[in-house]
A and B are shown apart, each in its own frame.
Chain A
Amino acid sequence: MNLRVHIAALLTALGLGLGGLLLPQMAMAQTQVADEPLADTALEMRARALMKEVRCVVCQAQSIDESDAGIASDMRRLIRQQIAAGESDAAILKYLSDRYGDFVLFKPPLKAATALLWAGPFVLLAIGGLIIVFFFRRRPTATANALSSAELDRIHAALDAEGLPSPAPEATTPTERREATASTERRDA
């Protein structure tokens, strides 16, 4: 069962009406039999890891490792042959992307066109971090007249000893102060 069919079903289920379009676009090769794994376990593991990085070209969002499509099975055989022949992972990926384009690589190669894709998340994180630093620089922080944690702990301990509930963290706005007082009163009652 291949993922294309299932995504199609899912899309239809979500009421998107596109589902049907994805279905029989292209005929797939016939019945596929189980793959012949490489005898050498280490090589086979390398092959399997590589297969997870290669996109099945007729499927929706599936690697050739997961796909039942005929073309995926052909590519798996090819990868095993090339690994057995002593090719490096990079050479095999290049062989495939030369023929199918970067589209077959689930991990897009780093180049000018994909620089933003790879750098983006970390650049955004850095910008966000800078904004936060800027935020704390710009405004005074609540260190001036706040109680330290140790002091707070002592207050809590004292209150506990008296059997009273711990109050809210020191209220600053009038609303909060009122709330904190009100709540203590109510609990006491």
Chain B
Amino acid sequence: MITEIGHYALVLALVLAVAQATLPLIGAQLGVRAWMALAKPAAVGQFVFLLLSFAALVHAFVVSDFSVAVVYQHSHSQTPLIYKISAAWGQHEGSLLLWVVILAFFGALVALFGDNLPPRLKARALAVQAMIGICFILFTLLTSNPFARLFPAPIEGQELNPLLQDPGLAFHPPMLYVGYVGFSMAFSFAVAALIEGKVDAAWARWVRPWTLLSWICLTAGIALGARWAYYELGWGGWWFWDPVENASFMPWLMGTALLHSAIVVEKRDALKAWTLLLAILTFGFSLLGTFLVRSGVITSVHAFAQDPARGLFILGILALALGGSLTLFAWRAPTLKAGGLFAPVSREGALMLNNLLLATATATVLLGTLYPLILDILGGGSVSVGTPYYTATFIPIVMPLIALTALGPLLGWKRGDLKGALQRLWAAGLIAVAALGVALWVDFGKQTLAAAGIGIGAWLFTATFIEWAERVKLFRIGPIDSLRRAVHLPRAAYGMSLAHAGLAIAIIGVTAASAWKAEEVRQLKPSDSITVGSFTYVLESVGPERGQNYIAERAHFRVLKDGQPYTDLYPERRQYMVQPMPTTEAAIQSHIFGDLYAVIGEGDGKGSWTVRIYEEPLVPWIWTGAALMALGGIVSLSDRRYRVGAPSRATAAQPAVAE
């Protein structure tokens, strides 16, 4: 019964979405206020009904109603409650419903907290948001209905894949979705602005919090995914340039570009058309990612097993949403009034270069992801695009970007003083050269690219600190005065500093972890030992271990540093009972400069085991850096200028010292 209510609520949400997509749009065109005002209750109602619908699905999982097809396929009465709940979005149908719920959530937020938006802009943006909603609700209902029943109802369900019974993996998708889907709001605002034919500073200010919120979640989601791969895969890798990963990385890169170009629109009323294009493309990449991973066009092994209707449906949505908005862009954007003037060397110029490099980097990832597909479709043969390709193309594009990130914040608006900025960064240059030298020396100059990466990371980190120190006039005025200035700096300024410092730390971590990872794989008997780096690992014992729904072999390593006991590691190799799928549980011990990483493989039945030991330099820096970036976003989001329900034009005043 509750399931049918959920199904019914989904249909009602569709009806409301249709109302929200049409009447307010017409109202905005004709100036009928009552019709425009309809957007608010419709958006809130749509969200409430979708939430109800999703709750009904979760309920079906919690009570193990196996007459619902997806519950039967992905749950079991004995599954722990938390994984029964996460199973609700652990499959195509349910996750699509979650997608739609998040879409409507953003719409409802704008409806509720956007009272100070110009009524026309608000009505149009919500109407566009509802159009996307219609597409995806229809997609859910017509091709992927999560409420489909089975008759007769099976008595017991099939277990959820044990690999999904991991807390990290259970909650990583919703995080990623909020990021992915949240960019729809920037898209809707961009389309609304194109319909109006007007973009100004206030528009940029309204779009910013939604973009920032999505960006924060996407940053965290990607980092969580990489971290999961790191501890679960068992060889210490965290990024593979796999199409599935790239699908989430491209919207992130574009979203980062959008955040920066929106600043130029806000401060200087320039780069308007470009920013609109970025807003459309950022969500476009989210849609593209959804298409790539859900249509089976890239990853599916058996084409026949995939429902071709789904792929075609998403392709239709892609064509409609992006085709429509880009056509509108081609038609309306050239008529936008050009904004403030600026010299090539200026903050605006630096942000433009930032955008150029980020857009090229995104295009590179896109090219690498799609090229094997394109070549295959055109009959040009079969190629693989992997890490070496991205090292040769993506890295050379991103390196100058990071170097520029250090410089940009020190350039003035309109016309900057490049020489002055560089002079102020002398200390950063010195530290960068020192870091480069140390990196070259440690490794006898074998990996110059990696040394350059470390140098650039050090450059950005120091420069970010210098920029902050200059703002608070550290050491130039008394410490009390500096503190006073520090307290009064806008939060957005802190947000930027944190995010840039986080980027610097992550870059250093990524570089070191890729270049100087050390590894030993060996057959060991108990009391044998391996030395990797400055640590010696002694295999003490391997014994059986029993978990709730698995059995495992658990090894005990004693780790020595310079002959002294340092720590103990207990890696496991698990065998789940329901599905006989072995998983590795690496034992990881972090210290400031890296991780000790031990994995136990299969035994040969004669008393020895395959053992893999890795020394993972600076990997914790990657997670720290990503966390700082997300934190920077949160701090910036809390700046009162950008608070949700951003102030209207008249009261938006704030000194623009920051950015």
Q: Which one, B268, B338, B381, contacts A102 given CB within 8 A?
A: B381
Choose the segment among B109-117, B233-241, B322-330, B619-627 that binds chain A (4+ C-beta atoms closer than 8 Å). B233-241
> Given that A7-B242, A168-B656 are contacting pairs, would A121 and B363 also be in contact in the complex, using a CB cutoff of 8 Å?
yes
Whole-angstrom CA separation of A33 from B582 in the bound complex: 16
Within 8 A of B (CB), among A47-102: 52-53, 55, 60-63, 66, 68, 101-102
Whole-angstrom CA separation of A136 from B414 in the bound complex: 13
With a cutoff of 8 Å between Cβ atoms, the chain B residues found around residue A187 in the complex are 655
With a cutoff of 8 Å between Cβ atoms, the chain B residues found around residue A11 in the complex are 244, 293, 299
Q: Does A124 contact B (CB under 8 A)?
A: yes
Q: Which one, A12, A34, A175, contacts B200 given CB within 8 A?
A: A175
With a cutoff of 8 Å between Cβ atoms, the chain B residues found around residue A128 in the complex are 356, 359-360
Q: Does B89 contact A (CB under 8 A)?
A: yes
> Given that A1-B583, A106-B388, A165-B655 are contacting pairs, would A101 and B95 also be in contact in the complex, using a CB cutoff of 8 Å?
no
Check A5 against B581 for contact (C-beta < 8 Å). yes
Check B342 against A106 for contact (C-beta < 8 Å). no
Cβ-closest chain A residue relative to B271: A135
Q: Does B29 contact A (CB under 8 A)?
A: no
With a cutoff of 8 Å between Cβ atoms, the chain B residues found around residue A105 in the complex are 383-384
Sampled A-B contacts (12; CB under 8 Å): A14-B173, A101-B381, A103-B384, A107-B386, A107-B388, A107-B389, A116-B367, A125-B357, A142-B340, A148-B415, A169-B656, A172-B341
Check A13 against B169 for contact (C-beta < 8 Å). yes
Q: Does B94 contact A (CB under 8 A)?
A: yes
Q: Does A132 contact B (CB under 8 A)?
A: yes
Check A61 against B242 for contact (C-beta < 8 Å). yes
Check B414 against A169 for contact (C-beta < 8 Å). yes
Check A61 against B95 for contact (C-beta < 8 Å). no
With a cutoff of 8 Å between Cβ atoms, the chain B residues found around residue A169 in the complex are 267, 412-414, 656
Cβ-closest chain A residue relative to B446: A45
Within 8 A of A (CB), among B201-222: 201-202
With a cutoff of 8 Å between Cβ atoms, the chain A residues found around residue B200 in the complex are 175
Q: Does A41 contact B (CB under 8 A)?
A: no
Besides the contacts A11-B293, A68-B601, A104-B384, what 5 more A-B pairs have beta carbons closer than 8 Å?
A: A5-B581, A7-B242, A33-B523, A107-B388, A142-B343
Q: Does A146 contact B (CB under 8 A)?
A: yes
Within 8 A of A (CB), among B594-617: 601-602, 604, 610-611
Check A106 against B172 for contact (C-beta < 8 Å). no
Cβ-closest chain A residue relative to B144: A17
Check A103 against B654 for contact (C-beta < 8 Å). no
Q: Does B90 contact A (CB under 8 A)?
A: yes
Q: Closest 9 A-B residue pairs measured CB to CB?
A: A15-B95, A106-B386, A149-B417, A169-B413, A107-B388, A142-B341, A9-B163, A17-B92, A182-B653
Whole-angstrom CA separation of A178 from B652 in the bound complex: 10
Cβ-closest chain B residue relative to A57: B384
Check A173 against B306 for contact (C-beta < 8 Å). no
With a cutoff of 8 Å between Cβ atoms, the chain B residues found around residue A173 in the complex are 201, 269, 339-340
Check B342 against A142 for contact (C-beta < 8 Å). yes
Check B173 against A15 for contact (C-beta < 8 Å). yes
Q: Measured between C-beta atoms, what is the minimum distance from A68 to chain B in Å?
A: 8
Q: Does B531 contact A (CB under 8 A)?
A: no
Interface residues of A (CB under 8 A from B): 1, 3, 5-7, 9-22, 25, 31-35, 52-53, 55, 60-63, 66, 68, 101-108, 113-114, 116-118, 120-122, 124-125, 128-129, 132, 136, 139-143, 146, 148-150, 152, 165-170, 172-173, 175-176, 178-180, 182-184, 186-187
Whole-angstrom CA separation of A60 from B352 in the bound complex: 37
Whole-angstrom CA separation of A52 from B243 in the bound complex: 18
Check A13 against B164 for contact (C-beta < 8 Å). yes
> Given that A16-B293, A19-B161, A63-B386 are contacting pairs, would A107 and B356 also be in contact in the complex, using a CB cutoff of 8 Å?
no
Whole-angstrom CA separation of A172 from B610 in the bound complex: 69
Cβ-closest chain B residue relative to A25: B301
Whole-angstrom CA separation of A13 from B87 in the bound complex: 8
With a cutoff of 8 Å between Cβ atoms, the chain B residues found around residue A122 in the complex are 393
Check A3 against B233 for contact (C-beta < 8 Å). yes
With a cutoff of 8 Å between Cβ atoms, the chain B residues found around residue A17 in the complex are 91-93
Q: Which one, A53, A60, A175, contacts B242 given CB within 8 A?
A: A60
Check B649 against A1 for contact (C-beta < 8 Å). no
Q: Does B442 contact A (CB under 8 A)?
A: no
Check A6 against B229 for contact (C-beta < 8 Å). yes
Q: Measured between C-beta atoms, what is the minimum distance from A153 to chain B in Å?
A: 8
Check B610 against A113 for contact (C-beta < 8 Å). no
Check A176 against B386 for contact (C-beta < 8 Å). no
Within 8 A of A (CB), among B549-603: 581-584, 601-602
Cβ-closest chain B residue relative to A23: B581
Check B299 against A121 for contact (C-beta < 8 Å). no
> Given that A124-B360, A139-B341, A180-B656 are contacting pairs, would A15 and B269 also be in contact in the complex, using a CB cutoff of 8 Å?
no
Q: Which one, B234, B414, B415, contacts A1 given CB within 8 A?
A: B234
Whole-angstrom CA separation of A20 from B579 in the bound complex: 12
Q: Measured between C-beta atoms, what is the minimum distance from B74 to chain A in Å?
A: 9
Check B610 against A15 for contact (C-beta < 8 Å). no
Check A16 against B92 for contact (C-beta < 8 Å). yes
Cβ-closest chain B residue relative to A128: B356
Within 8 A of A (CB), among B359-415: 359-360, 363-364, 367-368, 371, 375, 380-389, 392-394, 397, 412-415
Check A176 against B201 for contact (C-beta < 8 Å). yes
Whole-angstrom CA separation of A63 from B237 in the bound complex: 11
Check B161 against A117 for contact (C-beta < 8 Å). no
> Given that A15-B93, A170-B414 are contacting pairs, would A53 and B388 also be in contact in the complex, using a CB cutoff of 8 Å?
yes
With a cutoff of 8 Å between Cβ atoms, the chain A residues found around residue B430 in the complex are none
Q: Which one, B163, B299, B338, B380, contacts A139 given CB within 8 A?
A: B338
With a cutoff of 8 Å between Cβ atoms, the chain B residues found around residue A184 in the complex are 655
> Given that A16-B293, A169-B267, A173-B340 are contacting pairs, would A108 and B389 also be in contact in the complex, using a CB cutoff of 8 Å?
yes
Check B356 against A125 for contact (C-beta < 8 Å). yes
Interface centre among B243, B302, B340, B383 (most CB of A within 10 A): B383
Check B233 against A6 for contact (C-beta < 8 Å). yes
Whole-angstrom CA separation of A18 from B161 in the bound complex: 13
Whole-angstrom CA separation of A116 from B367 in the bound complex: 9
Cβ-closest chain A residue relative to B306: A18
Q: Measured between C-beta atoms, what is the minimum distance from B652 to chain A in Å?
A: 7
Q: Does B260 contact A (CB under 8 A)?
A: no
Whole-angstrom CA separation of A11 from B656 in the bound complex: 44
Check B367 against A117 for contact (C-beta < 8 Å). yes
